């Protein structure tokens, strides 16, 4: 499932085509994805202007001048791609529609935004912009890891007394929003913290040191266009490249990249998810 860097990469790719654009026509080609689409979704989107394109955790939020916000969740295999000319300066043919093009938005400028989702684990919803923070997918989310509310004091307090492994705690979206398996593995490696260690048994200075490391990992991943392991594509259709710089994720049995370390990367399943780590470098 796309994590924060992949969703942020898609959002940035959509910005030139969507933010400030009027949706001349919206086509909804099936009644549902993971959940049913909202009533009259195509009608409510057609004619609306996108006033802002934001991200909250792993969700893209498109604010409309109608007072509603379109929530977009990419799910396991969802892609949002742009075709045509977002700036309306030239004419470009759109690609032939594909089987899993479930939602298609055409703007006045001639751009087309297509939501394609082969496995249909994605989702879209429309909600009152003024009350968007009350939406059931958003209301319990923790602070954004790249925002000011995610700081040393918050993480120290959040981990204090926790008996669960730190890996599981960091994946809890109520603790910090948007983190997923890939980037937690990579951040814990850089911090030298074992994913198996109980969160409450990590010293405050080490917990505090995790904050800038998490920020750095996410920022580097966004700069690289995210990680393309299976389905992720940027809005222009290109792959992300951060997977080429993984230290531990997906590298079971390969040598640790820490200089002079003789260990190989291990994998352990925690709560149904694979944790990758070096038992020598991470304690």
- Distance between CA atoms of 30 and 96, rounded to whole angstroms? 18
Give percent of the chain above pLDDT 90.
Answer: 80
Residues 177 and 101 in one domain: no
Concerning whether 162 is annotated as a catalytic residue, the answer is no
Concerning whether 16 is annotated as a catalytic residue, the answer is no
Buried residues in 125-145 as b, exposed as e (16+ CB within 10 A): bbbebeebeebebbeebbbbb
pLDDT at 101 over 50: yes
Question: What six digits make up the tokens of 2?
Answer: 């796309």
The whole-model pTM stands at 0.90
In eight-state DSSP terms, residue 199 is: G
Q: Is residue 222 part of a domain?
A: yes
Q: Is residue 283 part of a domain?
A: no
pLDDT at 84: 83
How many domains does the chain contain in total?
2
Q: Which domain holds residue 196?
A: 152-277
In eight-state DSSP terms, residue 248 is: S
Q: What is the pLDDT of residues 162-215, one digit of tens each?
A: 999 999 999 999 999 999 999 999 999 999 999 999 999 999 999 999 999 999
Domain boundary residue, one of 104, 134, 164:
134
pLDDT at 90: 47
Residues 203 and 269 in one domain: yes
Are 123 and 136 in contact by the 8 Å Cβ rule? The answer is no
Contacts of the segment 138-144: beta carbons below 8 A, 24+ positions apart: 138/56, 138/57, 138/59, 138/71, 140/173, 140/174, 141/56, 141/57, 141/173, 141/174, 141/177, 142/172, 142/173, 142/174, 142/175, 142/176, 142/177, 143/176, 143/177, 144/56, 144/57, 144/176, 144/177, 144/178
Residue of 56, 58, 79, 233 with catalytic role: 58
Concerning whether 212 is annotated as a catalytic residue, the answer is no
- What is the domain-level CATH number for residue 253? 1.10.8.50
Concerning whether 3 is annotated as a catalytic residue, the answer is yes
Residues 109 and 195 in one domain: no
Question: What six digits make up the tokens of 272?
Answer: 């149904």
Question: What six digits make up the tokens of 214?
Answer: 């998490």
Q: Is residue 254 part of a domain?
A: yes
Residues 105 and 21 in one domain: yes
Residues 43 and 129 in one domain: yes
Average pLDDT, the chain: 92
- Enumerate residues 6+ apart whose C-beta is below 8 A from 142: 150, 158, 172, 173, 174, 175, 176, 177
Residues 62 and 165 in one domain: no
Residue of 44, 197, 215, 273 with catalytic role: 273
Q: Is residue 141 part of a domain?
A: no
Q: Is residue 139 part of a domain?
A: no
Residues 112 and 175 in one domain: no
Q: Is residue 144 part of a domain?
A: no
């Amino acid at each position: 499932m796309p994590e924060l860097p992949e969703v942020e990469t898609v959002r940035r790719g959509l910005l030139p085509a969507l933010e400030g654009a009027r949706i001349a026509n919206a086509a909804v080609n099936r009644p549902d994805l993971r959940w049913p689409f909202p009533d009259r979704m195509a009608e409510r989107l057609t004619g609306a202007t996108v006033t802002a394109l934001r991200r909250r955790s792993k969700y893209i939020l498109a604010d409309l001048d109608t007072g509603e916000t379109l929530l977009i969740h990419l799910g396991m295999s969802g892609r949002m791609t742009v075709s045509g000319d977002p700036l309306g300066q030239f004419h470009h043919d759109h690609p032939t529609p594909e089987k899993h093009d479930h939602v298609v938005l055409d703007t006045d400028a001639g751009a087309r935004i297509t939501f394609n989702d082969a496995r249909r684990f994605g989702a879209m919803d429309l909600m009152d912009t003024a009350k968007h923070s009350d939406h059931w997918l958003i209301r319990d989310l923790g602070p954004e890891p790249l925002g000011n509310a995610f700081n040393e004091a918050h993480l120290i307090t959040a981990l204090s007394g926790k008996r669960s492994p730190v890996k599981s705690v960091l994946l809890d979206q109520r603790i910090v929003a948007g983190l997923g398996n890939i980037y937690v593995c990579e951040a814990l490696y850089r911090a030298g913290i074992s994913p198996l260690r109980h969160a409450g048994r990590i010293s405050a200075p080490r917990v505090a040191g995790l904050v800038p490391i998490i920020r750095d990992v996410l920022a580097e991943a966004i700069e690289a266009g995210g990680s393309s392991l299976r389905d992720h594509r940027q809005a222009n259709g290109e792959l992300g490249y951060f997977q080429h710089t993984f230290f531990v994720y997906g590298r079971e049995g390969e040598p640790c990249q820490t200089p002079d370390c003789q260990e190989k990367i291990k994998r352990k399943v925690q709560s149904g998810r694979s944790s990758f780590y070096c038992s020598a470098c991470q304690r």
